[in-house]
Structure 1
């Protein structure tokens, strides 16, 4: 199927600005270019990112590096077992001078919210993020407050096998566009880390390379990336395959299909294309879908992970024939 359209003029600026953001983050995070690229992809897709791995591999450092690369309001929340929902969203406090209740905004009122060790808080506190992540708004005492754009939650968590962690509710996981694992660095990167991080933190030298207005413009440009009907159908086919898989008791939600396509738009734009191809969906299927899925009892007994199921489904689901020019 032929697709004829002009390349948006913002696309060149998008690639250039995104490249600057990636370079800024990689000046702090050595040897993790794939994780950095996916982080920028989620930002441009108006999504949220979950970084899951063992302690000490740079999860919080990656989140902070992205936050410092953009000149915008950033707030950090350290999740602990005694954290309350109002500590995140804010609270209405009585002002004795005016004799009226005033809303004291919580840390969620920022462009980038870094949630450190999110699964160390109780499920009730974790759920405080549900409304703001999906609807970009916060409701407190019957009053609704809109959040500024762009709005992105970057949460880190330790594996649930670690001491003092709570599993994220399914509804919470489904609101994260993608999940990544940092993994241990290569020996050469770890050696460089010892040299660079030995004295001062490289975060102290990191300067913003993009403004809030630029990021908004990039997001608008990504929204204009073309997705053909066969590619949309392919995204649905991937999601439906997870729902029918005997290895899964919970498949991908319609929200996951929408976020897969949004992420694919950003992925295509970063590659300099103003149209999405099946390869974009295939590359993003694992980080976008796997964390939303729950294995069946039989799959758990065979120690089959959702990541393995997604990889097999991507190989099995027929790929549409598309052609863009």
Structure 2
């Protein structure tokens, strides 16, 4: 098992290692958010101001560099594709916040809370369109196939999550299928295109795909745990949103599986029937703590994290590989 290696400082170190590339990526993001329609750059500025770790584009840049990519002065494919990945991700966030009726994103008012649902959906569509323009500009059909497939998988994952909502009989395998679609698929694509840029052997391409998939699974498992284990400032959204929305996540499934008959009645009322009072979230947190549902979730996340690190073993040891390994553990340590 990979041990703790510095928490969030690991992500900061990776960003610093790729500082020049990240600055170029951020410039590309801001430039591509411009439009003669004023509302689009206004909403875009709100998203940029909200910050975010830019983990997915960072992974694209890191994967390309890990595979030896050297950009030409007038041709920086890794930067364009990193921006593309961020646009896909941001578009899905805009749509998700509308579907989930979220009012917070990264600790600030969500775009739909500020600009309304219609604007959020339409600007999300605009960012999806921008992402495909960037794919086209790159000129690689392989890259387009990978990123467009990921975009479709994300949509499938969100629809599948909607289909499992309020259903405590959802098998864990189905839940894992949901988080693979909504999160891990884009992590995998973001990493895989790095190998495609450099025409690396298929084994390295598949290794980066496996790295991204397992990292994405660990990341989402921890996010789901944090909804029941973090304070609102740390989480960047309202604590307990998943429960209020009746979302089926591993903390709830683990707590329900270990519950007494009386406790199962509670979970069925608040999750399946959606009948909730102000006292229900504290009770849910109490039951989750009692059954160690957070521990169960983090243990599974650690399994995926270990698999992500193992996937990198095909690459020679280097400073960049070490930073990626530390970043994996950061994703799990967020809930510790």
Tell whether the structures are fold-level matches, with TM greater than 0.5: no
Question: TM-score, structure 1 length as denominator?
Answer: 0.29
Structure with bigger helix share is 2
Structure with bigger strand share is 1
Question: TM-score, structure 2 length as denominator?
Answer: 0.29
